[in-house]
Amino acid sequence: MTLPLRSGIECAELGRSEDLLAWERMKTTVKHDSRFESDASRYAAYLSTPEGRLRADLVFANLQEFLPAAVGANSLRAVDLGCGAGATSVRLADLGIHVNLLDSSAAMLALAKRTIVEAGVSDRIAVKHGDATQLATIFQRRSFDIVLCHNLLEYVDDPGAVLRGTRRLMRDTSAILSVLVRNQAGEVMKAALQTGDLAAAEHNLTADWGEEPLYRGRVRLFTSEALEAILKDASLRINARRGVRVIADYLPAQISRSAEYERIFALERKLGKRLEYFGIARYMHCLASCATP
């Protein structure tokens, strides 16, 4: 799962040198990040908000378009890396897919276990406590038809290494990898349109990371070019690109996110499939497969 920005004016004055020093300091602790451990319930609460629901619903709708064909869903195996509260895994299990959950936060896994029991899918889900940077020691090679990597690359030292590890888990060229990351361009739009902070918007044009508002921590930012490059380097081929939350975060206050949820979702689905909106969405969602057997 898933570094705080200063104000735009401060960042403009301090320049990128402090950002780089902060990044180096953060890299030594990210694997032991206590945000999700000490207050995991805050993330679970976020998932029930219109913003959290929309992200989850849009990503799952995109994923369903590319689930591998099989004799039956019961023959498919999935792994959810950095699974968090396990909401996506439960949805896959509801389809009859067998899912392995992996997270480095014991608190998050406790929430996931509760979600699994309440959904009545315990027989189709296995839960593992572990680090996504050590996949080779946790799972056997070519074990999965579906690999989820949602809002995980933002928090690891080497996203490329994690993707190479996920490539090792994919059964064959029919397997699908679902990757969701925070978009750098989305942070530019957020600063300009949500808060009117033009200095922060300008800073974010070249920022390697942004603010993660839920826990006030830092989160790595990706450009579409950077994401595509690390996927290609891991011998993964992009089959589809989808923008997630293209305009929902910037709607006028008089539009109720709850009352108009279905209309917002439908519009987001249309916008997210268009390449020009993929580039400015808050999140970029790529569905990829192995480039070679």
- Bridge partners of residue 77, in order along the sequence: 98
Q: Is residue 51 part of a domain?
A: yes
| pLDDT, tens digit (0-9, with 9 covering 90-100), for 223-258 | 999 999 999 999 999 999 999 999 999 999 999 999
Q: What gap in Å lies between CA 247 and CA 268, rounded to an integer?
A: 7
- Taking the alpha carbons at both ends of the chain, their separation in whole angstroms is 29
Q: Is residue 285 part of a domain?
A: yes
Written as six digits, the tokens of 207 are: 């920022």
Q: Is residue 81 part of a domain?
A: yes
Q: Is residue 2 part of a domain?
A: no
| pLDDT, tens digit (0-9, with 9 covering 90-100), for 86-108 | 999 999 999 999 999 999 999 99
Q: Is residue 253 part of a domain?
A: yes
Amino acid at 48: S
- pLDDT for position 251: 94
Helices (H) and strands (E) in the chain, counts: 13, 9
pLDDT higher at 85 or 273: 273
Residue 35: pLDDT band (50, 70, 90) is low
If one counts the domains in the chain, the total is 1
Q: Which domain holds residue 220?
A: 8-290
CATH number of the structural domain spanning residue 268: 3.40.50.150
Q: Is residue 91 part of a domain?
A: yes
Predicted structure pTM score: 0.85
- pLDDT for position 5: 36
Q: Is residue 3 part of a domain?
A: no
Question: How many other C-beta atoms are found inside a 10 Å radius of the C-beta of residue 249?
Answer: 16
| pLDDT, tens digit (0-9, with 9 covering 90-100), for 161-195 | 999 999 999 999 999 999 999 999 999 999 999 99
Q: Is residue 184 part of a domain?
A: yes
